[in-house]
Structure 1
Amino acid sequence: MSYRRGIGTPAALSVQRAALQQDGSPGSAGAGPYSTGGGGTVLEHRYGAVLLSHLLTGTPVPGLGDAVTPVRIRFQARSVSRVDDIVVVGTAPTKTEVVLSIGVRRKPKLVPSEADSVRLIGDFLHVARTRRALVDSGRWKLALAVVPSCVPAQQLKTLAEMASAAGSWTEFQDRLRRPGSLQAAVRNRLTQLEAIVASLAPEPPAQAARENWRLLSTLRLTEMRLEGADCTDRTYSVERLRAVTPQRSNDAANALFAHLAEQVGAYAPAGAVVDLSRLHADLQGLDCFAPASRLPSPTAAAPARPAATRTPRPSRRRARARLRWKARLLSGAAQQPQVHDGTVVVVDDCWTLAFDADSGDQRWGKKAGGGHRAVVAGGACFASDPLGHARAWDLRTGQRSAPLRLRMQDGLAAVSDGVLFAAHPTTGLSAYDVASKAVLWSGAGDRLPVAAAPRTRGDTVFALLRAPSAPACEQQVLAAFEARSGRTVWCWPSGSCAITRWSAGDQVLTAILDTQDHKREIVALDRISGELLWRHELAGEAAAAPVHAGTAVHLTTRCGRALTWDARGGRLRWDVQAARRITTAPLVTDDGVCIAAFAPGRLVVLDPSSGSELWRKSVSGAFTAAPFMAGDRIWAADRTGVLYSWDPGTRRSTAQQLERWSEEGGGQPAIEGRTLFVSTCSGWLQAWELP
């Protein structure tokens, strides 16, 4: 779903400006909005402008929800969703986020012989599987945007409505068997879709049909009425934009829509994340734009002070966190920060930003990191340049070093004990001593591709590799290397199973496997020899990687269970139904195993030896980030932004209202001393002094 050359260039924008200011310009007959014909580009930019008009005026976006207010739009957001044309994020009245992934196609054929249709359905299917919990709860939605004259999409709409109304695959099959339930052409479209799904993931026919129903039940159709004689969507957008123009005039609103379409030409190729503050800043100075209230510029150079911060009602009995400072980020989807040597490092899309931990003043901002978690060591932040060479940015000055003598790919690096372990598809895994600036070794693992960031334990570094096992397939291999020499210690191939999560402890390395018959297993390997010690089948999907604590391995599943095994022997110590749903890893302390549950929202503390419940505390929101320790207290924050703390001794709790942070960024807030640093959903980096 990449954008073609010429979109967003100065010459193209000048032509588009003239075309977009006129209603009814005809579109091209290309297969999608990315065709080389100018009409396809106009359609794409107009549809982006329609969505921006919703963001600018705060009006509901069709498909996102009538009660949901759009807060930001991502163009070509593959880091968030495989359906990467446009992703719209909104806020519901309950303060939860709702996401709409939109695949934009002009007239898809939706047949197995069309490669673009296969990729499109594959992307939809990938999101429906990987975001299953959010999709099932209605918080992540899928939509296909097409022109009204696309007959295959209209047939898809009929099938989607029937699948959604059925409620289950069995009921859907029953409805299909009823005489006259579908026209022959629609039934043929269902056959074509099932063939596409079956080609994407070879499965038994019944399983492929079930996956096809699940996809249809979550997919919605959006019609783009933006070309030819029917420009209804443009007319409605101009009507909405009158509220943010001088004298609320139609002429100014029409010109503003043309400017929004032109902005899409700049946003789309760059994969921009656009929120209200950025959009206001980009439209400042236009004669046709006059918002009711001016928002601050999204540039992060000037941090705002917390003098006017609204705090909750004070409590006489409970100490509360205090906001020390906050500084502007580039968007509301930044990753959670890291703190090193008095510097707070935040990755916001493809930018890496550094702030002073004491004052909140921004030190520098560089386009580096590729949207992956920052790798920091020795007073420097490491990332790759466009040629794949590792570079180091000084934490205090932001000065970039010359290319290091190793190659790396962003997202495939880690640091331990002053050694940078970095991987690249062409050179394999390498090690770099940060202090001496010397490459210790390179090419470990016979230069096999590394599938995830390496992990270390003691004097050993572990990596997940992809190794060819047959001409048409590959298998995954867990490998252990000596940290200082790069010598291969052991390798363990997973065979036909896919390794979804893994972690290393003092005694064993554990991994979660997906088998070919759609079962899940947990396996444990000896950390020193790589010998398979034990394996057990799991009843549900793991919520996070296993947690190692002493002689035990702890795991939580999405169906709400908490399990603990002996690390060496594999004996199941206990299996407890702690909640209906869990999405985070447990926090293991000397006093208990702490689980922050999603549904119902509560903290549950279990006895480490028996699994019996010691105590629980219910909260108003759902937990999506793992609990953590700070000082002598257990801390956790729910998705609405309420920060809770519990004293394990007295079991008393305190709460402090924070601004919500985005679940897209992942991770959890950073702690240094008694200060908590968090990236919020509204685009701020905040520093809270904990009591």
Structure 2
Amino acid sequence: MSYRRDTGLPAALPAQRAALQQEGPPPGQAGAGPYSTGGGGTVLEHRYGAVLLSHLLTGTPVPGLGDAVTPVRIRFQGRSVSRVDDIVVVGTAPNKKEVVLSIGVRRKPKLVPSEADSVKLIGDFLHVARARRALVDSGRWKLALAVVPSCIPAQQLRALAEMASAAGSWAEFQDRLRRPGSLQTAVRNRLTQMEEIVALLAPEPSAQTARETWRLLSALRLVEMRLEGADCTDRTYSVERLRAVTPQRSNEAAHALFAHLAEQVGAYAPGGAVVDLSRLQADLQGLDCFALAALPSPAAAVPARPATVRRPRTDRRRAHARLRWEVRLVTGAAHQPQVHDGTVVVVDDCWTLAFDADSGDQRWGKKIGGGHRPVVAGGACFASGLLGHARAWDLSTGQCSAPLALRMQDGLASVSDGVLFAGHPDTGLSACDVASKTVLWSGAGDRLQVMAAPQAHGGIVFALLQDRAASAPGQQVLAAVGAMSGHTVWRWPSGSCAIAHWSAGDQVLAAVADTPDRKQEIVALDRAGGALLWRHKLPGAAAAAPVHAGTAVHLTTRCGRALAWDAREGRLQWDVQAAQRIAAAPLVAGNGVNIAAFAPGRLVVLDPHSGGELWHRPAGGAFTTTPFMWGDRIWAGDRTGALHAWDPLTRRSTQQLPVRWSDEGGGQPAVEDRRMFVSTCSGWLQAWELH
């Protein structure tokens, strides 16, 4: 079977590739966002906010606001202006009057009276329709619900809203409802559910409830967010619009600018910011992908000339990277690759693909791993096969082995010192020798459910377990098992606390636990006996798992604090405010604690003994991943997809690779010798050489 270099999929499987592109977002992208219901995810809302900012930046009409209306400002979570408090867009009509669009952002709302979030959503819309009735009736205040296209309840609501708006009056709406075949049964049921929701919000006689429902439906519009999976039409159109405000007038620069806009939404939304054109332009100043002079001027008779790009002089001390090869993947949200024995393995949606590290030629592609990164060791990929039995796929040929005599669940396995440690909800923990495929032991963990991939360290395997019969998610157990025997060494129940992050080191096992009072604390257990050594309240939510370095335990918090404790005694060595916001763990290397900060976007290097700042360097974007060492450089990727490098000796920024990498799939670029392999957000797997 041959493989096409441009797709990353087997040439004989076009039908499967088409089906894959229709399956929706990659695993791991769904989840509740800060202002979504039904499983939205912060990424979707930030992208939609970036789409709206692209309209504001280019002065183009916003869908739902009006074709003749120019957007002038956007308020995020603007409850002081509108009860529909996700996004409020204000525009100016040709008659100089303001037009307002209140947008409720939900991914897949159920729109049923039994769901509290649906009742609250409709209640907010209903409140605006009542409080701003005159403006709503005149068309100067509009209501919109933004959902993904696959939301069936919202599609049914669209049919009702279109009929209510076209009717023009309550009586005409009732006449249309009485006509045979005017609505499908499911759509009529949706109308009944909407009336029940309105009745819950304002108990009134049934006729008044039905009339109030019609009034709300006639004012409501549906906006589809095409920003997920294979259908990213809205993002494509936004990039096309943004080309006009980039100095290069290129798709690549517009793509980078869109990523910056999504990053800005992450800063605007939590504080309920009001963003107008001048503020947005000021926040984007200094970016290579944005040129203020390229914006169209209303007073100009001819289009403004694009700004001249001033290229900095080349620093001879800088290390230069060369793109060795690149191959096309399926989506722009592939996991960061793994490299082993000259083979690069990358997970893209439900596909696991293997490439030759030297040439980039694809060796094979298989539907294994269930969207999780497989365990790569001993010249093979280990993943779950049929009935949950572990299998090994040869890295060179993709040939599958016979089922191993142990069961595993994808995402719940790790490898250490040539031993595969696999977890399964039914069989607990098991261990297998990678070279011989021989099962060493199975059933460890007292049949408790394995909650995360085990961590092996110093002859002991540590695991997070939970009783299947536990009534609360906080009833979890941290356990230590002999790596070669499978015998339980110790167990530590977390009680009423849920384990948010944990990691094992030479001295202790450190865990971050969520307490019943909605705070977090750090807990240290003796790695040999499991005894509780110390515990401390944290000043904020932890950004990631604790990092062990020598005799110290390091931790960063989302509120920008960096802390270090003595591992055995629990004495706080230092606690400093390193940034306003941190979203990743630190890297303790090169005689420093290296922190890639989210806000402000910069690399901060602290003294590991005192916590004092040794140096810092600003960068163009907000960092969301842990820094890593490649060669003699410190590297970190920001949210826009750019990789930055710093020389720890000269403390200078040495390079910025335009790889536009994606951290949506998790992980970091794979590094081997002086080569780096990275999955980009534009759907490419690239290999870079550092000279």
Task: State whether structure 2 residue 113 is matched by structure 1 residue 110.
Answer: yes
Contact preservation (8 Å) 1:76, 1:84: no
Q: 1:430 to 1:112 in 2, by over 3 A?
A: same
Task: State whether structure 2 residue 78 is matched by structure 1 residue 75.
Answer: no
Which SS does the other structure have where 1:330 is aligned? coil
Q: Which amino acid in 2 is paired with 1:364?
A: W
Q: 1:520 to 1:473 in 2, by over 3 A?
A: closer
Task: Tell me by how many angstroms 1:661 deviates.
Answer: 2.0
Q: 1:361 to 1:491 in 2, by over 3 A?
A: same
Task: Tell me by how many angstroms 1:594 deviates.
Answer: 0.6
Residues 242-261 of structure 1: matches in 2 within 5 Å? Answer: none
Contact preservation (8 Å) 1:380, 1:393: yes
Aligned partner of 1:616 in structure 2 is: 616
Q: Which amino acid in 1 is paired with 2:314?
A: S
Contact preservation (8 Å) 2:27, 2:349: no
Q: Which amino acid in 2 is paired with 1:520?
A: Q
Aligned partner of 2:314 in structure 1 is: 315
Task: Tell me by how many angstroms 1:633 deviates.
Answer: 1.9
CA distance in 2, matches of 1:403, 1:118: 50
CA distance in 2, matches of 1:473, 1:324: 48
Q: Which amino acid in 2 is paired with 1:646?
A: W
Which SS does the other structure have where 1:75 is aligned? coil
Contact preservation (8 Å) 1:552, 1:565: yes
Task: Tell me by how many angstroms 1:386 deviates.
Answer: 3.3
Aligned length: 468
Task: Tell me by how many angstroms 1:539 deviates.
Answer: 1.4
Q: TM-score, normalised by structure 1?
A: 0.61
Contact preservation (8 Å) 1:431, 1:439: yes
Residues 551-630 of structure 1: matches in 2 within 5 Å? Answer: 551-630=551-630
Q: Deviations over 1:418-462 (max 9, x none)?
A: 111111111110001111221100000111110000001010001
Q: 1:616 to 1:363 in 2, by over 3 A?
A: same
Task: Tell me by how many angstroms 1:617 deviates.
Answer: 0.5
Task: Tell me by how many angstroms 1:400 deviates.
Answer: 0.8
CA distance in 1, matches of 2:471, 2:458: 37
Residues 166-565 of structure 1: matches in 2 within 5 Å? Answer: 188-189=200-201, 223-224=221-222, 273-274=230-231, 315-317=314-316, 318-467=318-467, 475-565=475-565
Contact preservation (8 Å) 1:378, 1:435: yes
Q: Deviations over 1:506-546 (max 9, x none)?
A: 01000000011111100000000000000000111111100
Aligned partner of 1:688 in structure 2 is: 688
Contact preservation (8 Å) 1:335, 1:666: yes
Q: 1:590 to 1:619 in 2, by over 3 A?
A: closer
Task: Tell me by how many angstroms 1:360 deviates.
Answer: 0.8
Q: Deviations over 1:300-351 (max 9, x none)?
A: xxxxxxxxxxxx8772422321111111111100000111000000011111
Q: Deviations over 1:574-596 (max 9, x none)?
A: 00000000001101024110101
Q: Which amino acid in 2 is paired with 1:511?
A: A
Structure 2 gaps of 5+ residues are 1-20, 32-37, 55-75, 77-85, 87-103, 123-145, 165-194, 204-218, 237-310
Contact preservation (8 Å) 1:429, 1:443: yes
CA distance in 1, matches of 2:508, 2:594: 22
Contact preservation (8 Å) 2:642, 2:661: no
Contact preservation (8 Å) 1:274, 1:331: no
Identity of aligned residues (%): 65
Task: Tell me by how many angstroms 1:101 deviates.
Answer: 7.9
CA distance in 1, matches of 2:364, 2:498: 40
Q: Deviations over 1:70-101 (max 9, x none)?
A: xx997265631134589968494899xx9998
Which SS does the other structure have where 1:593 is aligned? strand
- Range with greater deviation from structure 2 (352-361 or 635-644): 635-644
Aligned partner of 2:127 in structure 1 is: none
Task: Tell me by how many angstroms 1:674 deviates.
Answer: 1.0
Aligned partner of 1:134 in structure 2 is: none
Q: Deviations over 1:355-408 (max 9, x none)?
A: 111111111110000111220111000111131111110001001111111111
Q: 1:480 to 1:579 in 2, by over 3 A?
A: same
CA distance in 2, matches of 1:142, 1:547: 39
CA distance in 2, matches of 1:430, 1:120: 47
Task: Tell me by how many angstroms 1:666 deviates.
Answer: 1.4
Q: Deviations over 1:35-89 (max 9, x none)?
A: xxxxxxxxxxxxxxxxxxxxxxxxxxxxxxxxxxxxx997265631134589968
Contact preservation (8 Å) 1:598, 1:622: yes
Q: Deviations over 1:555-611 (max 9, x none)?
A: 000000000000000000000000000001101024110101010011111101000
Q: 1:272 to 1:76 in 2, by over 3 A?
A: closer
Higher relative contact order (CA 8 A, sep 6+): 2
CA distance in 2, matches of 1:380, 1:187: 60
Contact preservation (8 Å) 1:469, 1:475: no
Q: Which amino acid in 1 is paired with 2:486?
A: G
Q: Which amino acid in 1 is paired with 2:29?
A: V
Contact preservation (8 Å) 1:77, 1:84: no
Task: Tell me by how many angstroms 1:112 deviates.
Answer: 4.9
Contact preservation (8 Å) 2:596, 2:602: yes
Q: 1:507 to 1:104 in 2, by over 3 A?
A: closer
Q: TM-score, normalised by structure 2?
A: 0.61
Q: 1:604 to 1:657 in 2, by over 3 A?
A: same
CA distance in 2, matches of 1:575, 1:323: 41
Which SS does the other structure have where 1:646 is aligned? strand
Residues 19-38 of structure 1: matches in 2 within 5 Å? Answer: none
Residues 137-148 of structure 1: matches in 2 within 5 Å? Answer: 145=154, 147-148=157-158
Q: Deviations over 1:203-241 (max 9, x none)?
A: xxxxxxxxxxxxxxxxxx98459xxxxxxx9xxx9xxxx
Contact preservation (8 Å) 1:75, 1:84: no
Which SS does the other structure have where 1:370 is aligned? helix
CA-based RMSD:
4.0
Contact preservation (8 Å) 2:347, 2:372: yes
CA distance in 2, matches of 1:272, 1:400: 29
Task: Tell me by how many angstroms 1:185 deviates.
Answer: 7.7
CA distance in 2, matches of 1:117, 1:542: 31
- Range with greater deviation from structure 2 (623-632 or 639-648): 639-648
CA distance in 1, matches of 2:524, 2:202: 43
Contact preservation (8 Å) 1:510, 1:525: yes
Q: 1:332 to 1:117 in 2, by over 3 A?
A: same
Q: Which amino acid in 2 is paired with 1:390?
A: A
Task: Tell me by how many angstroms 1:119 deviates.
Answer: 14
Contact preservation (8 Å) 1:464, 1:476: yes
Q: Computing the radius of gyration over CA atoms, which structure comes out larger, 1 or 2?
A: 2
CA distance in 2, matches of 1:404, 1:504: 28
Contact preservation (8 Å) 1:645, 1:654: yes
Aligned partner of 1:674 in structure 2 is: 674
